[in-house]
Amino acid sequence: MNKVWQSVQHLEIGPGHHQQRLDNFLFTALKGLPKSRVYKLLRSGQIRVNKGRKKPDYRLNTGDMVRIPPVELVERDPGQVPDFLLEQVENAVLHEQDDFLVLNKPAGMPVHAGSGIRFGVIESLRQARPQEPMLELVHRLDRDTSGLLLIARNRPCMLKLHELFSSHEAISKSYQALVCGRWQGGEQLIDQPLQKNNLQGVERMVQVDPEGKPARSRFIPLHYTDRASLMEVEIYTGRTHQIRVHAVWAGHPIVGDRKYAEPGCNQFFKNLGYKRMFLHAHTLAFQLDQAYQFTAPLDPEWQRLLQQLDTL
């Protein structure tokens, strides 16, 4: 169904959009209008701010008036999220308050749609809570990684949390990981730069590379067996696949990692009925209006495998 704005609209910028880029504001306000069309309207001066032309990267201020010409917006129906996904994402909520939600994301659930996937955490959460004015991802987890995921409920909170995550020093994150084999060398700080490459066709891979971006992870062994070792991993940077690639560099890939782990290790655990990756975002601490600290419990499959480890 199409929505047509028959006349010129004037939108006043509220505090929630203060310092947002003009083009990003328009992509939301004119959802359904192609981005190329938005930029064309800006270039031609049909979209104006305070009666003047502005470039796409203009930072909006509270009280600005944005003029929007008559446009036709194509409303795309994303489809109905299956009931079991709605229930799963609601059951994953660990904590909620006015500004944000904290979820314990299940392994195997993507955080958003894309690459042939119709629904992720954020699409499911929005359909489960249609009354919410805003729900946005603060950060991301790999599809096969379980654990703590933050969702912002308003723009000011989202901007503050983005700033914390980008600084890394203002936020503390630790993971639990089950790695192949008996970990060697005790506690280890891995300070190895990482580089993204498209080595496998169109699939993105990450590897240790002196020309890459700095990446630091501390691996702390919690329990050893010959088949696998349980590790706590603290990260001081947030590179793509950081823990997974650093684990491979250390000679102990993560159990169930289909992209980086060795086939033999994965096959052993697959034969036992474990077909997922065992990496879990376990703790998260940060300072916002107050100090927050969250812990996501391991799911029953994790706990069952840990109980089996000493017998394997």
The residues annotated as belonging to the active site are 142
Could you tell me if 104 and 110 are in contact, meaning their C-beta atoms sit under 8 angstroms apart? no
* 30 vs 2: CA distance, rounded Å: 12
146-152/279-287 β-pairing: parallel
**How far apart are alpha carbons 125 and 236 in whole angstroms?**
29
Q: At which residue do the structure tokens 């391991």 appear?
A: 298
Identify the CA nearest to 223 among candidates 308, 138, 116.
Answer: 308
User: How would DSSP label each residue in 271-293?
Assistant: HTT--S--EEEEEEEEESSSEEE
Residues 6+ apart with CB under 8 A from 282: 147, 148, 174, 175, 176, 232, 295, 296, 298
